[in-house]
Structure 1
Amino acid sequence: MTSHAANTIKVVSYYRVSSSSQGESGLGLEAQREYIQRAAQQNGWNIVGEFVDVASGKLAIEDRPEGAKALILCKQAKAQLAVAKLDRLSRSVHHIARLMEQTEFKVATMPHAKPFELHLFAALAEQERSFIASRTKEALAALQARADNGDPQSVEKIARRTAALEKGRTATNRAKASEAIQERVIHWQESVRDPIDLCIRKGGRTLQQVADCLNGKGITTSRGGEWSSIQVSRVMKNLELQF
């Protein structure tokens, strides 16, 4: 909690993770909490409540159990809603616009953004959802193209991922299985975006420093091991993160 100085803004912290497994493990939750706490310290916010939902971003916040409670507290305490990133509220422009009519809210990664700017970012977030879906298909197509051109690593990767599913599966189902695997890879990479971003914001200036930061937080690689500078470099490149 921040101090109750005269110029503080009362906020209700709201966090959302997308699945029960993420909710139980806390994946992404610690990063969201750290974003809001840092923004509160830097901007004089007084956190008067905290709510956590394990729910899909497709649902409007008022349709999520804890989200509805957070909105009620905002009204009762005359506080603003605070989230780590805009997509924790929704990637739907319609949902964001409707929420703007109900309450004021703060976004930790852009604490001084005005309503018009938030509406613009919501539109970009909605576009990003469509982009991720198309990027998954493009990544699969690129992998297949490299395999068709004789790249041994690509051939091996496709064979390894589909070998267990080959028997008794149609070509359509094999393609769906491969796409599902790629989607899981992208989903995992997105789950470590915030921790990596926070490590950079907290002073990480080299790949090894970011790796040490992630290991110090107990965040593991996709295979459950410790991070190396090479692994950090690969994931940062895929997520288009820079120092």
Structure 2
Amino acid sequence: MTSITTTNTIDVVSYCRVSSHGQGESGLGLEAQREYITRAAKQNGWNIVDEFVDVVSGKLAIEDRPEGAKALALCKQTKAKLVVAKLDRLSRSVHHIARLLDETMDFKVATMPQADKFQLHLFAALAEQERSFIASRTKEALAALQKRADEGDAQSVEKIARRSAALGKGRTDANRTKASEAVQDRVNSWQESVRDPIDLCIRRGGRTLQQVADCLNSKSITTSRGGQWSSMQVSRVMKNLALHFPAKDAAV
């Protein structure tokens, strides 16, 4: 028999969280959370007595969220256990998770219903560490992207503009366009400032990209980031400025 007897049934309060109003209104992510919780309730003999949904950032502690505070209050009042679909719906902070566990707040996670306090603490710590690694890698990738954009790489400029537009919540299309144009203007202005030095290096005998780079470096003319020139950087800027080596000379 796979049916669950009522003697094993425990009361739980369902808590779901989405990070944006768009997710909340469209149901994106919310229905999946409800499905996780409903399925786990059927499999483990949980009786869902109520449901609360927050549309807030996971950085806020659950007791500081409007619906989260209500869910906790109901759990204390009815002696029910809080249940979330996944651990990060409760909190993205291992500190918050640890505090709830230390305060003997009994909660369940639908995707790992049999996990004990030690396992939940461990999972929270591992998840926070992974987010830290991802943030570090993202920061490094964005720095590299900005460097290429400052050196005149058109695709990098476009990527930065698209990212700025995507992150510009509440900004109008006109403001996003202005921001994109400002980035492009800054790149164009810097490139024009090195047009004459590059042209002079070519006129004085520079016949390869590396020779032009060496010429610029010898004159203490730096890249947009204040660094040394490389042949690749010279190639990008010369292409954008429509500068060329004299005919029959190979730029390698």
TM-score range, shorter chain: 0.5 to 0.7
> What is the match of residue 82 of structure 2?
81
Partner Cα distance (1:123, 1:84) in 2: 18
> What is the match of residue 115 of structure 2?
113
Does the aligned pair in 1 maintain the 2:12–2:82 contact within 8 Å?
Answer: yes
In the alignment, structure 1 residue 21 sits paired with structure 2 residue 22: yes
SS in 1 for 2:58: coil
How far 1:156 moved relative to its partner? 4.2
From the superposition, tell whether residues 146 and 60 of structure 1 become closer, same or farther in structure 2 (CA, over 3 Å).
Answer: same
From the superposition, tell whether residues 32 and 171 of structure 1 become closer, same or farther in structure 2 (CA, over 3 Å).
Answer: farther
SS in 1 for 2:182: coil
TM norm structure 2: 0.57
How far 1:99 moved relative to its partner? 1.3
How high is the sequence identity, in percent, across the aligned residues? 73
Aligned residues: 168
From the superposition, tell whether residues 47 and 4 of structure 1 become closer, same or farther in structure 2 (CA, over 3 Å).
Answer: farther
Structure with max Cα Rg: 2
Q: Mark the runs of 5 or more structure 2 residues left unpaired by the alignment.
A: 163-176, 188-252
How far 1:160 moved relative to its partner? 6.0
From the superposition, tell whether residues 32 and 75 of structure 1 become closer, same or farther in structure 2 (CA, over 3 Å).
Answer: same
Partner Cα distance (2:158, 2:79) in 1: 58
User: Superposition pairs for residues 149-168 of structure 1, below 5 Å?
Assistant: 156=155, 158-159=157-158, 162=161, 165-168=179-182
> What is the match of residue 10 of structure 2?
9
In the alignment, structure 1 residue 55 sits paired with structure 2 residue 56: yes
Does the aligned pair in 1 maintain the 2:146–2:156 contact within 8 Å?
Answer: no
Deviates more, 1:34-43 or 1:134-143: 134-143
Does the aligned pair in 1 maintain the 2:87–2:109 contact within 8 Å?
Answer: yes
Partner Cα distance (2:35, 2:74) in 1: 21
How far 1:144 moved relative to its partner? 7.5
SS in 1 for 2:14: strand
From the superposition, tell whether residues 162 and 61 of structure 1 become closer, same or farther in structure 2 (CA, over 3 Å).
Answer: closer
| Counterpart residue identity of residue 55, structure 1 | V
How far 1:128 moved relative to its partner? 2.6
Partner Cα distance (1:72, 1:11) in 2: 13
How far 1:158 moved relative to its partner? 5.0
Partner Cα distance (1:136, 1:49) in 2: 39
How far 1:134 moved relative to its partner? 1.9
Does the aligned pair in 1 maintain the 2:146–2:160 contact within 8 Å?
Answer: no
1:125 to 124, 127, 137: 127
- Give the aligned CA root-mean-square deviation in angstroms: 3.2
TM norm structure 1: 0.59
Any idea what the Cα deviations from partners look like across 1:143-167, whole Å, max 9, x if unmatched?
68999xxxxxx96475365385553
How far 1:125 moved relative to its partner? 2.0
> What is the match of residue 66 of structure 1?
67
Partner Cα distance (1:94, 1:84) in 2: 19
Partner Cα distance (1:12, 1:22) in 2: 21
SS in 1 for 2:113: coil
Partner Cα distance (2:50, 2:5) in 1: 14
Partner Cα distance (2:127, 2:42) in 1: 26
How far 1:135 moved relative to its partner? 3.0
Partner Cα distance (2:19, 2:83) in 1: 18
How far 1:40 moved relative to its partner? 0.9
